[in-house]
Amino acid sequence: MPGKKSAAPNAAKPKTTAKDAAGLPPHGKSQKNHLKANDPTSQGRKAICALTVASSDSGAGAGIQADLKAFAAHGIYGLSAIAGITAQNTQGVLAELYLGRGLLTSQLKALSQDFRVSAIKVGLLGTEANALALRDFLAKGSFGDAPVVLDPVMCSATGHTFLKPAAVRGVIKLFGKAFLITPNMFEAAALSGRKVLKFEDFLEAAKTLISSGAKNVLVKGGHLKSEPKDLLLTQEGQVVVFSGRRVKTNNDHGTGCTLSSAIAARLATGMGLVDAIRHAKEYVANAMEQGPAVGRGHGPLDHFYAFRDRPFARLGDETGLVDVSYEGHAKD
Read off the pLDDT of each residue in 1-23 and give the average, rounded to a whole number.
43
Read off the pLDDT of each residue in 90-112 and give the average, rounded to a whole number.
96
pLDDT of residue 11: 44
Higher pLDDT, 146 or 33: 146
Higher pLDDT, 1 or 294: 294
Q: Contact, 64 vs 300, CB < 8 A?
A: no
HSE-CB of 48 using CA atoms within 13 angstroms = 26
Q: pLDDT tens-digit profile of 44-87?
A: 788 999 999 999 999 999 999 999 999 999 999 999 999 999 99
Instruction: Flag whether pLDDT at 33 surpasses 60.
Output: no
Q: Which of 50-64, 101-115, 238-252, 315-329 has the lowest mean pLDDT?
A: 315-329
Give the DSSP letter string of 141-205.
TTTTT--EEE----B-TT--B---HHHHHHHHTTGGG-SEE--BHHHHHHHHTS---SGGGHHHH
pLDDT of residue 36: 45
- Reported as a pLDDT band with limits 50, 70 and 90, residue 106 is very high
Q: pLDDT tens-digit profile of 174-184?
A: 999 999 999 99
| Torsions phi, psi for 192 (to 5 deg) | -95, -20
- The count of other CB atoms within 10 Å of the CB of residue 307 is 16
Q: pLDDT tens-digit profile of 213-226?
A: 999 999 999 889 88
Of 2.60.120.20, 3.60.150.10, 3.40.1190.20, 1.10.630.10, the CATH number of 33-307 is 3.40.1190.20
CA distance 163 to 257: 16
- Reported as a pLDDT band with limits 50, 70 and 90, residue 164 is confident
pLDDT of residue 38: 56
Give the DSSP letter string of 56-68.
EETTSSSHHHHHH
Output b/e per residue, 206-217; b: 16+ Cβ within 10 A: bbbbbebebbbb
Q: Which of 6-20, 124-138, 181-195, 219-233 has the lowest mean pLDDT?
A: 6-20
Instruction: Flag whether pLDDT at 13 surpasses 80.
Output: no
CA distance 24 to 67: 15
Neighbouring residues of 122: CB distance < 8 A, sequence distance ≥ 6: 52, 53, 54, 134, 148, 149, 150, 151, 174, 178
Global confidence as pTM: 0.84
Instruction: Flag whether pLDDT at 21 surpasses 60.
Output: no
Q: DSSP secondary-structure letter at 54?
A: E
Read off the pLDDT of each residue in 248-260 and give the average, rounded to a whole number.
95
- The count of other CB atoms within 10 Å of the CB of residue 233 is 24
pLDDT of residue 293: 93
Q: pLDDT tens-digit profile of 182-200?
A: 999 999 999 999 999 999 9
Instruction: Flag whether pLDDT at 284 surpasses 80.
Output: yes
Whole-number mean pLDDT of the chain? 86
pLDDT of residue 324: 79
Where along the chain do its domains lie?
33-307
Q: Contact, 66 vs 262, CB < 8 A?
A: no
- The candidate with the shortest Cα–Cα distance to 125, out of 177, 91, 89, 86, is 86
Instruction: Flag whether pLDDT at 313 surpasses 70.
Output: no
Query: Is the Cα torsion angle 27, 19, 240, 203 positive or negative in sign?
Result: negative
What's the Rg (C-alpha) of the chain? 20
Question: What's the residue count for the chain?
Answer: 332
CA distance 82 to 106: 11
Higher pLDDT, 44 or 28: 44
Which SS3 state, helix, strand or coil, does residue 24 take? Answer: coil
- Reported as a pLDDT band with limits 50, 70 and 90, residue 40 is low
